[in-house]
Amino acid sequence: MGIIEPVQPAANPYAPPRAVVRDVLPSYTAMQRADPGARLGAHLLDALIFFGMVYIPFLVGTFITAAAIRGNSPFPVLIGFLCLIAGLAVWLIMTFRNVVENGQSIAKKIIGIKVVRSDGSPVSLGRLILLRNVVNMALGFIPVYAMIDALFIFSESRQCLHDKIADTIVINA
């Protein structure tokens, strides 16, 4: 008796093509974390941009209207308040557009850093607003929280507490 060997089926010419699919997201370790100085610079620049786009129009509108009226009318403050609302609307539109597109505030875009999830995937607007900002502001009422949050930037992962809460990291864009 002979040994029966299994017969390998011939390749099916009608079978769909096969491909190896690799993950296209950068790995957790391959992303270059943003420098703490760049993060601080972006935070300060964002504050200056907000001040320039919101409060300066309020002050200019109020003073120009007050100089034009020169009286005890509440009209200058109303004009200033309308300028404040217009500046706030423009700032919100510009900021939300950048955040939705690429996870960057205006200053982060200028400096060249962005916020992503810790696995490298894009961060959602809800996660940015709720977990990184609203929860962080609520915790900010605890007297030493802001200092502790900021000091976490010097940890090995370069994540502040608000980054850990939101499961985000800040990387070079």
The pLDDT score that the predictor gives to residue 13 is 78
The pLDDT score that the predictor gives to residue 42 is 94
Q: Please indicate, yes or no, if residue 88 is contained in any of the structural domains.
A: yes
SS (H, E, C) the chain: CCCCCCCCCCCCCCCCCCCCCCCCCCCCCCCCECCHHHHHHHHHHHHHHHHHHHHHHHHHHHHHHHHHHCCCCCHHHHHHHHHHHHHHHHHHHHHHHHHHHHCCCHHHHHHCEEEEECCCCECCHHHHHHHHHHHHHHHCCCCCHHHHHHHHHHCCCCCCHHHHHHCEEEEEC
- Domain count of the chain? 1
Q: Please indicate, yes or no, if residue 18 is contained in any of the structural domains.
A: no
Q: Please indicate, yes or no, if residue 17 is contained in any of the structural domains.
A: no
Q: Please indicate, yes or no, if residue 125 is contained in any of the structural domains.
A: yes
The pLDDT score that the predictor gives to residue 142 is 92
The pLDDT score that the predictor gives to residue 155 is 87
The pLDDT score that the predictor gives to residue 115 is 94
Q: For the chain, 173 residues long, give each residue's pLDDT as a single digit of tens.
A: 556 666 566 677 787 877 776 655 555 456 899 999 999 999 999 999 999 999 998 888 888 887 777 766 677 778 888 888 999 999 999 999 999 899 999 999 999 999 999 888 999 988 988 998 899 999 989 989 989 998 998 888 889 999 999 999 999 98
Q: Which domain holds residue 76?
A: 36-172
